[in-house]
Amino acid sequence: MPFVVGLTGGVGSGKSTAASCFKKHGAVVVDADAISRTLTKSGSPVIEEISMTFGAQILHVDGSLNRSALAALVFGDSTALNKLNTIMHPKIRREATRQIETCASDEIVVYDMPLLIETDSVKLCDVVIVVDLDPDEQIERLVKNRGMSPEEARARIRNQASRDQRNLVATWVLDNSKTTSDLQQECASVWLGIVERAVKARS
């Protein structure tokens, strides 16, 4: 098995930037969001299961998933969110595990998973990196960069693990309160630690 690094953080925290940085250093990135998008392509069995559960209103006219409509439906309703998670998370985990297992034993895999803690996917990982951001700044970025209202941003944050819960399981915490360049420098430093641990794990 390759050496697996779990990468997580709250919505809008800058996880994708960190994943791109680690990829440049040589990591293989397994992206849970990309897996989710593949699973929910038009005509897929997963789309059918979601539409049967939540109704045709979460589909576009062409049958593709209306992600905004689905988000509006589930993020204000914990029961609906649990139903969606029950459909999606086992399938995401199964495909992520498959992708990880296809990697060579001498590779380092970064599993980019927003809900790493919530889905107990920490068990798949040798180490965990958390991209950390103050919740107030998180809300500001979601409003500015993703066009959410403050209320929508708060709802997304409430439905994820808390900052303390994430940081408690972290091997490393990346502070993303500064610039992208600062985050990239932190990633470069942490990468050296990852490589060191991977070498020890294989010896």
pLDDT digits (tens, 9 = 90+) for 150-197: 999 998 899 899 999 999 999 999 999 999 999 999 999 999 999 999
CATH class of 3-202: alpha beta
Distance separating alpha carbons of residues 76 and 80, to the nearest angstrom: 8
Its pTM stands at 0.93
> pLDDT, tens digit, for every residue of 96-147?
999 999 999 999 999 999 999 999 999 999 999 999 999 999 999 999 999 9
Residue 37 to residues 34, 105, 188: CA-CA distances in angstroms? 5, 27, 29
> pLDDT, tens digit, for every residue of 54-108?
999 999 999 899 998 999 899 888 899 999 999 999 999 999 999 999 999 999 9
Which token pair is 112?
């980019």
For the chain, the domains span 3-202
